[in-house]
Amino acid sequence: MLDNQSQVARDAVLKFRPQINARRHVNRLCLAADVPLVESGTTGFLGQVTVHVKAKTECYECQPKPAPKTYPVCTITSTPSKFVHCIVWAKDLLFSKLFGDKNQENDLNVRSGDASSSSERSEDVFVRKLDEDIDQYGRRVYDHVFGYNIEMALSNEETWRNRNRPRPIYIRDVLSAALTQQNGNTENTKTEVDALSVSAMVSLGLKNPQEVWSLVENSRIFLEALKLFFSKREQEVGNLSFDKDDQLAVEFVTAAANIRASSFGIPLHSLFEAKGIAGNIVHAVATTNAIIAGLIVIEAIKVLCNETSNYRMTYCLEHPSRKMLLMPVEPFEPNKNCYVCSETPLLLEINTHRSKLRDIVEKIVKARLGMSLPLVMHGAALLYEVGDDLDEAMVANYSANLDKVLSELPSSVTGGTVLTVEDLQQELSCNINIKHREEFDEEKEPDGMILSGWSQALTTENHKTSPAGNGTSTSSQAVPVEAVVDDELEMLTGGTETLPLGKKRKISDNLNASSISEEMSKRKAEERELDSHVVVLEESMDQGNGKKKRLQ
Amino acid sequence: MKGEELTEQETALYDRQIRVWGVDAQRRLSKSHILVSGLRGTAIEFCKNIVLAGVGSVALNDDRPVTEEALSANFLIPSDGETLVGKTVAEVCSESLKDFNPMVRVSVEKGDISSYGADFFGKFDVVVVCCYSLAAKRMVNEKCRKLSKHVAFYTVDCRDSCGEIFVDLQDYAYTKKKFDETTECQLHYPSFEEAISVPWSSLPKRLSKLYFAMRVIERFEDVENRRYGETSSVDLASVLKLRTELCQANSANESQVPDSLLGRLIAGPSEFPPVCAVIGGILGQEVIKAISGKGDPVKNFFFFDAADGKGVIEDISSNA
């Protein structure tokens, strides 16, 4: 079978792209052009290869993909309970505030600025005054964010009724005057040429990125990194954004997150760990990538030979399941509720008197549906579109529409309206049924809208069988599995996002394969939880440049 | 562990994988010495994997001259044949392998290592023999076992689109992590000879048929004095006869070793590169586990068949 160098029946697309949006885009293009897609990903020792063929198997988007993790704003700004909250605060709020675009919205002072007169003051605090000494400036910022802001937050007794009260930290309590002056002897170090090699760790003689720094060390790194930004990289201040490969930025964020963690009684972390969290660094090893690459080729050959019945999706596991480390299962049939490969409408619950068209375009059409050049229609009326060939009047009209509340659009959008959204480039079109809803839970539904539909059957079932509703229940009616034999097994449950959740899959058994009849014991949350969805070969190949070159 | 810290360069280069297996494991890897003999496609994939993982050193052994056949699944041999005249496969591969990771020492060991004394193997922490004859597998395994030092021993075979890995870690202790709990585990491995001597009738019915098929062909090459992979479809009748004999001797049913599977496996010496990638990847993973002492190692056979896509672990030992 596999030696068959038969004529190529059709092309196939082999994919190992990093971004979920890129993956979704390719999925749509493959569906539009009816080109089979071999999709794959790895995380640590886990990996998977799947085959997607239009109308024969499920498409890449038939199973809803978990949305990227987001945190409620107030958790980040006032009540962090995990180290990751401190990282998000340090990276997205403090770092952007100090070194990023000043015009960008920033929630850094949202809570602390509650007191009437303080808003003016807190705005000033982050701006370095004319001729202000850098050390002086750094200590002022330090005291403001780790001292004053915490005091302000503490004044709101309600917040701390059921929480541990944070401890304000002031620089004078951490570093003695003598130390502060010693801090930063950059003048003595050799002049750095490459901006990205400027390092507070080097200045302070800290070498091991695996080591967890003390509060004193973190405070010194904080001041030193801030000082280095303003002295060695001054031109960049004002338009920097966090980059995990920017050593000084990582140092600053690590130190700031750790100082904040100290305040809130959260365990401190090393720079190495902080970098992983801040940069969403994918865990990757060459061995898993090699295995998955081999499996991709095996599947691709089947696709090219048109051996439809032999297509398999294969999981590479860390712990054996039914004695297997490589587990092939038969591909699913297309999900009839999939908005991408079928024509089922979606349902959007939204407050049509408050939400604007912009909310739908940004949060639903672009972020959730993954369209890049969308067009929104209500019946025959075009509400919004993007493109190069639009005249000025139209552009003005569309941008005016964006800021209109739904019910006040020229063609009013209310409960019962059906919107059509299209992306001509992706050749994807789908309908959204609008349902008006007055109230949303600010914590749980921060977008102020709920999109459902393409996973509806699955979620309903989940609620019945698993009250926890964590998407790990046993059965699903979303996809009929034909001839469910006793060989079926429940795929790894419990948060392993590389694997589809809560689905029964038929294990493959063909040719001379030994049939397997032992009971598949239900796997509990044995696999360690993964933070990211299926991940990249590309990303993890970065040590393997030699191989890439050679294989190309 | 002072003075044994990873260098900054190592921490930076191995950043992604340290996030998978931790600094301790990386440190142990960087001190390990590995011998790989028989540089077929699977072994080459394996070498690439452990060199990227950052082991201390890799010694290569394969005195065959570079030929067309060696080229088929060996991506370490450059295709510009001119410069290769008079060089062995190991010499050529060691040159290319160095490019993958300059921090790993790559060297060449010449000669028939199965005839070397046990001391020779004591220089290594891991010994991998690829596509070895039955007799040579036994010899090298016994020599590794004679040493007071624990040398991890692996055989790896690739025939047609099937692969087999055998693992002997002797008495092996490791830690495993589940639900944030770390537990100490102990495993006792049989030698290769002990494993293949387990009567077939005492093995579980569902055992991978590849195990039996591999044993039949291995035995066939042994009694016929063939080199590894030196078989073709012409041999099928004799192989089937041997299968019958072995099944009778083991009071096993012949259906355990299907004709079609044997027919596929004797088709010839050519390797199927994607299968090499899969087997070499699993073997790399196993060796990394054994060196780092982290994670459940395979005990004691692993089989992969591209035809059904399954990668199965089988425990074949008398006390299993």
Is B260's CB within 8 Å of A312's CB?
A: no
Is A511's CB within 8 Å of B275's CB?
A: no
Least confident of A71-75, B136-140, B264-268: A71-75
**Nearest residue of chain A to residue B14 (CA atoms):** A543
Whether the predicted pLDDT of B307 surpasses 50: yes
Residues of B in contact with A291 (CB under 8 A): 277-278, 281-282, 285
Q: Is B281 on the interface with A (CB under 8 A)?
A: yes
Is B278's CB within 8 Å of A324's CB?
A: no
Of B260, B277, B295, Cβ closest to residue A290 = B277
Please name which of A333, A368, A537, A340 lies closest in space to residue A449, comparing C-alpha atoms: A368
Residue A328 · residue B310 · CB < 8 Å: yes
Q: Is A552 on the interface with B (CB under 8 A)?
A: no
- What value does the mean pLDDT of chain A take? 74
Best of B206, B253, B278 to substitute, by most chain A Cβ atoms within 10 angstroms, is B278
Taking residues A91-102, report their average pLDDT.
89
Per-residue model confidence as pLDDT tens digits over B185-208: 899 999 999 999 999 988 988 899
Is B274's CB within 8 Å of A297's CB?
A: yes
Higher pLDDT pick, A215 / B2:
A215
Taking residues B181-188, report their average pLDDT.
86
Per-residue model confidence as pLDDT tens digits over A116-141: 444 444 456 788 887 888 889 999 99
Whether the predicted pLDDT of B166 surpasses 90: yes
Return the SS3 of A49: strand
How far apart (Å, rounded) are the C-alpha atoms in residues A479 and A482?
Answer: 9
Cα-Cα end-to-end distance for chain B: 38
Does A86 belong to an annotated binding site? no
How far apart (Å, rounded) are the C-alpha atoms in residues A371 and A430?
Answer: 11
Q: Is B274 on the interface with A (CB under 8 A)?
A: yes
Taking residues B210-239, report their average pLDDT.
93
**Nearest residue of chain B to residue A44 (CA atoms):** B20
A21 prior amide bond cis, ω within 30? no
How far apart (Å, rounded) are the C-alpha atoms in residues B283 and B302?
Answer: 9
Segment of A38-52, A176-190, A268-282, B97-111 carrying the highest mean pLDDT: B97-111
- Catalytic residue annotation of A: 74
Task: Give the distance, in angstroms, between the CA of residue B149 and the centroid of all CA atoms in the same chain.
Answer: 20
How far apart (Å, rounded) are the C-alpha atoms in residues A519 and A382?
Answer: 56
Q: Is B100 on the interface with A (CB under 8 A)?
A: yes
**Nearest residue of chain B to residue A285 (CA atoms):** B17
Whether the predicted pLDDT of A264 surpasses 70: yes
Least confident of A10-24, A81-95, B234-248: A10-24
Least confident of A197-201, A421-425, A460-464: A460-464
Q: Is B27 on the interface with A (CB under 8 A)?
A: no
Q: Is B15 on the interface with A (CB under 8 A)?
A: yes
Residues of B in contact with A543 (CB under 8 A): 13-14, 16-17, 52, 101
Q: How confident is the model at residue B81 (pLDDT cuts 50, 70, 90)?
A: low
Please name which of A444, A411, A431, A459 lies closest in space to residue A369, comparing C-alpha atoms: A431
Q: Which pairs count as long-range contacts for A153-162, CB under 8 Å and 24+ apart, including other chains?
A: A153/A78, A153/A111, A153/A112, A155/A115, A156/A111, A156/A114, A159/A78, A159/A79
pLDDT for res A50: 92
Least confident of A100-104, A412-416, B25-29, B40-44: A100-104
Whether the predicted pLDDT of A14 surpasses 60: no
Q: Pairing relation of β-strands A346-350 and A449-452?
A: antiparallel
Provide the 10 A C-beta neighbour count for residue B144.
25
Segment of A207-211, A486-490, B61-65, B80-84 carrying the highest mean pLDDT: B61-65
Q: Is B233 on the interface with A (CB under 8 A)?
A: no
- For the beta sheet containing A381-385, the strands, ordered from the edge strand earlier in sequence to the opposite edge, are A381-385, A374-378, A418-423, A428-436, A346-350, A449-452
Whether the predicted pLDDT of A373 surpasses 90: no
Whether the predicted pLDDT of B315 surpasses 50: yes
| Distance of residue A282 Cα from the nearest chain B Cα, in angstroms | 7
Higher pLDDT pick, A482 / A273:
A273
Taking residues A471-482, report their average pLDDT.
27
How far apart (Å, rounded) are the C-alpha atoms in residues A333 and A313?
Answer: 12
Taking residues A96-119, report their average pLDDT.
64
Whether the predicted pLDDT of B282 surpasses 90: yes
Largest CA distance in chain B: 63
Return the structure tokens found at A207.
């070498």
Q: How confident is the model at residue A372 (pLDDT cuts 50, 70, 90)?
A: confident
Per-residue model confidence as pLDDT tens digits over A345-355: 888 999 999 99
Per-residue model confidence as pLDDT tens digits over A279-318: 887 778 899 999 999 999 999 999 999 888 899 999 999 8
Least confident of A2-6, A24-28, A242-246: A2-6
Of B48, B306, B314, Cβ closest to residue A298 = B306
Return the structure tokens found at A107.
């929630």
**Nearest residue of chain B to residue A302 (CA atoms):** B307
Residue A226 · residue A128 · CB < 8 Å: no
Q: Is A340 on the interface with B (CB under 8 A)?
A: no
pLDDT for res B165: 97
Best of A273, A285, A518, A531 to substitute, by most chain B Cβ atoms within 10 angstroms, is A285
What ipTM describes this predicted complex? Answer: 0.93
**Nearest residue of chain B to residue A515 (CA atoms):** B206
Window 476-515 of A, Cβ < 8 Å to B: 508-515
How far apart (Å, rounded) are the C-alpha atoms in residues B47 and B49?
Answer: 5
pTM to 2 decimal places: 0.76
| Distance of residue B153 Cα from the nearest chain A Cα, in angstroms | 19
Least confident of A30-34, A240-244, A535-539: A535-539
Q: How confident is the model at residue B283 (pLDDT cuts 50, 70, 90)?
A: very high
Provide the 10 A C-beta neighbour count for residue A326.
26
Return the SS3 of B246: helix
DSSP for B98-117, please give it.
HHH-TTSEEEE--S-GGGS-
pLDDT for res A13: 60
Degrees to nearest 5, angle at CA A56 with A480 and A433:
65
Q: Is B220 on the interface with A (CB under 8 A)?
A: no
Return the structure tokens found at A152.
């302000």
Q: Is B271 on the interface with A (CB under 8 A)?
A: no
Return the structure tokens found at A320.
């054996």
Is B17's CB within 8 Å of A286's CB?
A: yes
pLDDT for res A167: 94
Per-residue model confidence as pLDDT tens digits over A498-552: 333 334 444 443 333 222 222 222 222 222 223 222 222 222 333 333 333 332 2
Whether the predicted pLDDT of B87 surpasses 50: yes
Taking residues A83-112, report their average pLDDT.
82
Q: Is B4 on the interface with A (CB under 8 A)?
A: no
**Nearest residue of chain A to residue B272 (CA atoms):** A3
How far apart (Å, rounded) are the C-alpha atoms in residues B269 and B303?
Answer: 18
How far apart (Å, rounded) are the C-alpha atoms in residues A52 and A58?
Answer: 6
Of B75, B160, B281, Cβ closest to residue A287 = B281
**Nearest residue of chain A to residue B46 (CA atoms):** A287
Alpha-carbon separation of residue B67 from A550, B78, B79, B87 (angstroms): 19, 12, 11, 10
| Distance of residue A259 Cα from the nearest chain B Cα, in angstroms | 23
Q: For B200, which DSSP code? A: G
Window 25-84 of A, Cβ < 8 Å to B: 44-45
Does A30 belong to an annotated binding site? no
Window 130-159 of B, Cβ < 8 Å to A: none
Taking residues A357-373, report their average pLDDT.
87
Taking residues B290-314, report their average pLDDT.
93
Q: How confident is the model at residue B22 (pLDDT cuts 50, 70, 90)?
A: confident
Is A282's CB within 8 Å of B207's CB?
A: no
| Distance of residue A473 Cα from the nearest chain B Cα, in angstroms | 20
Of A328, A512, A544, Cβ closest to residue B261 = A512
Per-residue model confidence as pLDDT tens digits over A140-174: 999 999 999 999 889 888 888 888 899 999 999 88
Is A294's CB within 8 Å of B100's CB?
A: no
How would you class B136 by CB atoms within 10 Å of its CB: exposed for 0-12, middle for 13-18, buried for 19 or more? buried
Q: Is B181 on the interface with A (CB under 8 A)?
A: no
Return the SS3 of A100: coil
Whether the predicted pLDDT of A235 surpasses 60: yes
Residue B35 · residue B109 · CB < 8 Å: yes
| Distance of residue A12 Cα from the nearest chain B Cα, in angstroms | 17
Backbone torsions φ then ψ of A550, nearest 5 degrees: -65, -35
- Percent of chain A clearing pLDDT 70 (strictly above): 71
| Distance of residue B282 Cα from the nearest chain A Cα, in angstroms | 7
Is A543's CB within 8 Å of B306's CB?
A: no
Q: How confident is the model at residue A335 (pLDDT cuts 50, 70, 90)?
A: confident
Q: Is B269 on the interface with A (CB under 8 A)?
A: no
